[in-house]
């Protein structure tokens, strides 16, 4: 949402300001949750999945998945996540 949309939604300037502050606080909260989760995934993985470099002392970077050390490593890694195509699942034999 564009911050200027908030002014259109609220007639009163104080209500618009309260809403902007609430959104800011929520963004900060979500970022703190993301950082803490990122840190715990890095501590758990402990080494880059592509090159094996120690991850535990690397900082928070939204451009880099937490189990890789750099965007290059993340890109070079083979795709291991496979989702089942519901139409490919064999029919139940019973
Ligand atoms: Zn790496």
pLDDT digits (tens, 9 = 90+) for 66-75: 999 999 999 9
How many other β-carbons are positioned within 10 Å of the β-carbon of residue 3?
Answer: 11
Domain membership flag for residue 81: no
Distance between CA 39 and CA 56 in Å, rounded?
8
How many other β-carbons are positioned within 10 Å of the β-carbon of residue 51?
Answer: 13
C-alpha 52 to ligand 1 mean position (Å)? 6
C-alpha 30 to ligand 1 mean position (Å)? 26
Q: Is the pLDDT of residue 4 over 80?
A: no
- pLDDT confidence band for 7 (50 / 70 / 90): confident
Domain membership flag for residue 54: yes
What is the pLDDT, as a whole number, of residue 71? Answer: 93
Domain membership flag for residue 87: no
**Average pLDDT rounded to a whole number, residues 46-69:** 92
Domain count, the chain: 1
**Containing domain of residue 24, as a range?**
3-76
Domain membership flag for residue 90: no
Domain membership flag for residue 47: yes
Domain membership flag for residue 28: yes
Domain membership flag for residue 16: yes
C-alpha 40 to ligand 1 mean position (Å)? 17
C-alpha 60 to ligand 1 mean position (Å)? 15
What is the pLDDT, as a whole number, of residue 89? Answer: 63
Domain membership flag for residue 85: no
- pLDDT confidence band for 87 (50 / 70 / 90): low
What is the pLDDT, as a whole number, of residue 57? Answer: 87
Q: Which tokens sit at 87?
A: 């139409």
Element (DSSP H or E) covering residue 24: helix 13-45
Element (DSSP H or E) covering residue 76: helix 71-76
C-alpha 29 to ligand 1 mean position (Å)? 29
Q: Is the pLDDT of residue 33 over 90?
A: yes
Beta carbons of 16 and 10 less than 8 angstroms apart: yes
Beta carbons of 77 and 68 less than 8 angstroms apart: yes
Beta carbons of 20 and 9 less than 8 angstroms apart: no
């Amino acid at each position: 949402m564009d911050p200027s949309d908030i002014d259109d939604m609220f007639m009163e300037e104080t209500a618009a300001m309260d809403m902007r502050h609430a959104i800011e606080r929520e963004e900060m909260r979500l970022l703190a949750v993301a950082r803490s989760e990122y840190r715990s995934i890095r501590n758990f993985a402990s080494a880059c999945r592509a090159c094996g470099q120690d991850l535990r002392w690397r900082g928070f970077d939204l451009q880099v998945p937490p189990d890789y050390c750099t965007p290059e490593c993340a890109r070079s890694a083979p795709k291991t996540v496979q989702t089942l195509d519901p139409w490919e699942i064999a029919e139940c034999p019973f």
